[in-house]
Structure 1
Amino acid sequence: MALPAELAELAAEVSNWGRWGERDERGTQNLIDADATRRGVALVQEGTHRTLALPLDQTAPQQGGAPGRIAPLRTMLSINQTYTGQDGDAAFNDDTVTMAMSAGTHIDALAHVTYGGCIYNGFPDTKVTAHAGATKCGADKIDPIV
């Protein structure tokens, strides 16, 4: 199914492709410079902390109804495992998480969506592969923002 013509027109109107040069992989994050940070800090009135985290468990919210998407699954690999096998020695806990990367808590990137065979700024969608992930416009291009 093709996108409605109105959507294509709107996309062209609001596009930032090329705004910061043809090699840009950060998009509107380019607007968050030192001056923007100072303006943001000046707005602080209470100094309270707010978490942006969501549960990383079976109760985590799921976005949409993507086929095959499951709630995050955490599996404990080691619980109080001693390095030497002797009780009372240094021990560690370890776990692994299996989750759909676009559900619940996740890091999004400009490579997350394609349009017309391209990711952000006209990079070909072939820059996202099963083996290497996003080699252009990936989450590794996101600078700290808080």
Structure 2
Amino acid sequence: MTDPDERAGAEQIERYFQSLSNWGRWGDDDRLGTLNLITPAVRLAAAASVRRGEAVSLAGDLDPENPDPLHAGVSAVHRDSKIGEVEHFLGRKARWDAIAESISISPHGGNTHLDGLGHYNWDGKTYNGFSIAESTDETGSKHLDVRHASDGIITRGVLLDIAGLFDVEFVERGYAITPEDLLAAEKKQGVRVRSGDALLIHTGNAAAILKDGPLYSTEEKGVLDGVQAGLDVSCLPFLHEREISVMGTDGTHDVQPPRLADFDFARPIHAVSLVGMGLWLIDNMHLTALAAATTRARQWDFLFTALPWRFIGSTSSPLNPVAVL
């Protein structure tokens, strides 16, 4: 028999697909979702967040010798270099020369990457009601790929430092962040998340894994078994009400292990955000340096920039997001 709390939790997630839906909000053919909230006025206002001129990278390295630094289990980075491009391809020597390269990346893993709206589907539908049945393994996403963000994600960013809220280096792994935590961080930092913002949430998860290694809840090191602090499903209404354009965390967004035993509901933040709300997500950011910089400056808002690749059919893009304080 299903536990009553388990059943109620699953039913609430199902309701969120309806009550928090942005389907049709920007038209039946919309491919941008919450990126529509980054208006010219929002970009102009975001420029006012630059008060020091300090730039901070929010990504980890892409390293073929260490392709899965956060132990996500699905990362791959390959580079094939040809030293001496001119001689190799043209068969002649010259005083000038170059290095030719071929690069292959599996971005949906431990690398810092953008999840496009076509990455998740629920009951066969992606954001705005597009059918996943029209996508194929060969061509990728038919309707929703990262190319639709080709103007870039350039907006005001806000860091909510949950580790700082608790005065710890790393939030306890497996901790479920609540809406009350988000509100408390806003109050402590004297900042408010507003429409069009990029919301970044610092838990210290990435830094903890790099320092101490991964933590697993079972003997089998499955993709979803890594114990991480993340958002509780109850945070979804906060994200919708504040009308954020994109969200990034130093983990996989969803608290792990999942709160519900039903595997259908293992990633409710991803599923409801990407499919229901059309909210773009950035996984596995490295936010410890930004948390330190914002604390020193006593400034938790900044100009946020992220420029995904224009890749037709791809639902992901490796990123080097940058915050400018």
Normalised-by-shorter TM-score class: 0.7 to 0.9
CA distance in 1, matches of 2:52, 2:68: 29
TM-score (norm 2): 0.40
**What pairs with 1:64-143 in structure 2 (closer than 5 Å)?**
64-65=72-73, 69-76=74-81, 78-83=82-87, 84-103=90-109, 104-142=111-149, 143=151
Is residue 20–residue 27 contact of structure 1 (8 Å, CA) maintained in 2? yes
Give ranges in structure 1 of 5+ residues lacking alignment.
none
Task: Give 1:6 shift.
Answer: 1.6
* TM-score normalised by the chain length of structure 1: 0.82
2:38 maps to 32
The Cα of 1:118 is off from its aligned counterpart by 0.6
Q: How does 1:7-18 map to 2 (within 5 A)?
A: 7-18=13-24
SS of 1:73's partner is strand
Residue 128 to residue 32, structure 1, CA distance change in 2 (3 Å):
same
Moved more, 37-46 or 84-93: 84-93
Aligned to 2:133, the other structure's residue is in SS state helix
1:24 Cα deviation after fit = 0.2
Q: Letter of the aligned partner of 1:106 in structure 2? A: H
> How has the CA–CA distance of structure 1 residues 110 and 63 changed in structure 2, closer, same or farther, with 3 Å as cutoff?
farther
Aligned to 2:220: none
Which residue of 1 is the match for residue 193 of structure 2? none
Q: Distance in 2 between matches of 1:102 and 1:20?
A: 28
8 Å CA contact 1:62, 1:71 repeated in 2: no
SS at match of 2:106: coil
Residue-pair matches, total: 141
Q: Between the two structures, name the one with larger relative contact order (CA 8 Å, sep ≥ 6).
A: 2
More divergent stretch after superposition (26-35 vs 132-141): 132-141
SS at match of 2:85: strand
Q: Residues of 1 paired with 2:100 and 2:70: CA distance?
A: 25
Identity across aligned pairs (percent)? 28
Are residue 145 (structure 1) and residue 149 (structure 2) matched? no
Say which is worse superposed, 103-112 or 56-65, in terms of deviation.
56-65
From the two aligned structures, give the one with the greater helix fraction: 2
